Chains A and B, each alone.
Chain A
Amino acid sequence: MQLLEITGLQVSFIKDREIIHVIDSVNLTLEAHESCALVGESGCGKTVLGMAVMRLLPSNAQIEGSIRYRETNLLELNSHDMLQILGKEIGMIPQNSAMVLNPVMTIGRQITESLVLHEGISSKTADEKAIYLLKRMDIPDPHYALSQYPHEFSGGMRERILIAIVLACEPTLIIADEPTAGLDILVRKQTIELLMEHSRDKTFLLITHDLGTAHELCSRIVVMYAGEIVESGNTREVLSMPMHPYTQGLLTSHPSAGLHPIPGMSPNPGSFPEGCRFYTRCSSVQDLCTKEHPSLKETGKMRKVRCLRYD
């Protein structure tokens, strides 16, 4: 069953009377219980995509296309109906746990807040559930932890608390935005294990630039560059045999591969080049690439690439 269907999504921002396109005609489908990684650099639009699904984009954003969650087009809902879904059906683990947790609210309150709001249970029952969640997240002394504040915890712990908050209402779809960014090796490992354990029966959309995390958590991978999808398919396949030059470049930039960088910089939204958006940095660029903008073509079972070489 298709849980999330994004069709023809286009997101632009209005800034100083200029319209800047950030996401261009993105199509993405998530089946129930599927885990998909959305991979790309900062500025490629992946975070905007996640926020668009949650309808959390700022007011100067223009959205076109449709985002269907279980037959309902989320973009057509009013804020009241959307609030019913947010947190309860779709949960988002945002980037940067340090800034997201309310520093003047105990973590107990932050967890029980959504529970009381969505499930209408008493605060006492909510507290018990919160303790249970914290235990599952391996937070030591969960009972005492309820009355503690975010700054009393380390970065890794805060990430886990954030996950606990999101899982509280047991949403069906979880969107995780860079859950392992900036974490130490060991903490990262723990976080990934935790996410793996808890996303088993849920549908999971992981937004990250860390290929390792994508590989461990997701069966599908979608690579974005300059606002569009450039490659997608089965994670193992794509990462072991990448087709798009950008994906190949990402893999060679990895420390394990010797840190060979892709020359140049990714273009800023609003200044995308004509033709293929990647051609200025592509090692296999051809003359045609500067003129024609490639479309996303299917090249195999569930495999798609946006590159003129495969046309």
Chain B
Amino acid sequence: MSRKKLFWFSCLIFFAYVAVAVFAPLIAPYDPYTVSGPPLRQPDSMHPLGTNATGQDILSQLIFGTRITLIIGLGAALISCSISVSLGILTGYYGGAFDGIVMRGIDISMTIPLFPLLLVLTLFFTPGIFLVAILMGVLGSTHSVRVFRSQVMGIRNASFIEGARAIGSRDMRIMSHHILPNLIPIVTVRFVSSVQHYILLGVGLSFLGLGDPMVIDWGQMIEQAYSSGGFALGLWWWLIPPGLAVVGLSLALAHLGYSSEEFYNPRLEKNRY
């Protein structure tokens, strides 16, 4: 499949997920929290994906779970990118002592692995999904700062930046009008892969039971299925759908990032002569 087709296909899949999340109340046949049928029922016409151990409809849970997954993933990625882009631009542009201090701080925080840190934090206080997203975003932002910073340092030395200073631009203007637009290609690609990361992280956290206990999302579904003896009892309709949902979204995002890179860099395709 050509890159362009791949890009649009992944886009379609991603937006399908978003649509499901947005229109969840309209699509889901039942409320995911209410008992709507006998427990551990195999898929039938009433419950296309069957029911779980408490009798809740799995399809509805899957649909509503999309919301949570996307909120966490997109929210965390947005926060993370905003922080790392700002820091990257500031440190890359100004350099000097400021850069030195910030980078040392980043170096230190990068040595702390994200997932265990999140585990510890969520153990101490059980956060709602928004707080999880914020935590992930803030802690995860450190990893991207370096990447953006080196891009900025490369751009900073280009003649047009000096030209902008020569015309009399203020620093803020240079950073927002010249440096930031030139970062957009790399930021977008990074953002997409961040979303993928944080989604997986979020699912992982809730699988371990450390997410928001008030909501049911895919990670929890898998966990519940597992702890209810899903494998032994062969409860495939409960185990597999959430897993597939995660994989599908993850793959779509991965391909989106991969093929959008070409989108932004016309020179990758252009042959010089």
Contacts and interface: CB of A to CB of B under 8 A. Distances in A.
**In the complex, is A directly touching B at CB under 8 Å?**
yes
Interface SS of chain B: loop
Contacts of A60: 271
A61 B273 CA distance: 10
- Which of B270, B271, B272, B273 is most buried by chain A, counting CB atoms within 10 A of its CB? B273
Contacts of B270: 15
Contacts of B271: 13, 15, 58, 60-61
Contacts of B273: 13, 22, 47-48, 57-58, 61
Nearest to A20: B273
A47 B270 CA distance: 17
Interface size of B as a range: under 10
Interface in B176-227: none
Interface residues of A, number: 9
Interface string B75-102: 0000000000000000000000000000
A48 B271 CA distance: 12
A22 B272 CA distance: 12
Contacts of A61: 271, 273
B79 to A, nearest CB: 37
A13 B272 CA distance: 10
Contacts of A22: 273
Interface string A41-55: 000000110000000
The 3 closest A-B pairs by CB, nearest first: A58-B271, A48-B273, A60-B271
Nearest to A51: B273
Contacts of A48: 273
14 contacts: A13-B271, A13-B273, A15-B270, A15-B271, A22-B273, A47-B273, A48-B273, A57-B273, A58-B271, A58-B272, A58-B273, A60-B271, A61-B271, A61-B273
A291 to B, nearest CB: 29
B203 to A, nearest CB: 40
A270 B150 CA distance: 39
Contacts of A57: 273
A57 B272 CA distance: 9
B118 to A, nearest CB: 38
Interface in A3-24: 13, 15, 22
A58 B273 CA distance: 8
B85 to A, nearest CB: 29
Contacts of B272: 58
